[in-house]
């Protein structure tokens, strides 16, 4: 079992990924009755499956950025 609060603490160390998680959790697709005011609340709202998808997308985006940078060098 995953401790979502512990996961939120880990995400806090990666500002870009944390910002993406907050953005998705605050989107219309995940709208709830209460506003998301913390990373912990965002992690809870999204759940592990969605967080994995966000992480995969961020990894893909990072690889594309490295490839683009290498092309410019």
Q: Which of 23, 25, 16, 66 lies closest to 44, judged by CA?
A: 25
Does the model's pTM come out above 0.85? no
* Rounded distance between C-alpha atoms, residue 30 and residue 7, angstroms: 19
Tens of pLDDT, residue by residue, the chain (73 residues): 678 888 888 889 989 889 999 999 999 999 889 999 999 999 999 999 999 998 888 887 765 554 555 554 4
Burial letters 15-27, b for 16+ CB under 10 A, else e:
eebbebbbebbbe
| Structural contact between residues 39 and 14, judged by C-beta atoms closer than 8 angstroms | no
């Amino acid at each position: 079992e995953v401790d979502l609060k512990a996961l939120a603490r880990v995400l806090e160390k990666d500002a870009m990924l944390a910002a993406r998680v907050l953005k998705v959790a605050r989107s219309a697709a995940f709208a709830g009755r209460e506003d998301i005011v913390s990373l912990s609340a965002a992690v809870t709202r999204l759940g592990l499956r969605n967080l994995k998808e966000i992480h995969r997308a961020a990894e893909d985006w990072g690889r594309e950025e490295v490839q683009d940078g290498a092309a410019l060098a």
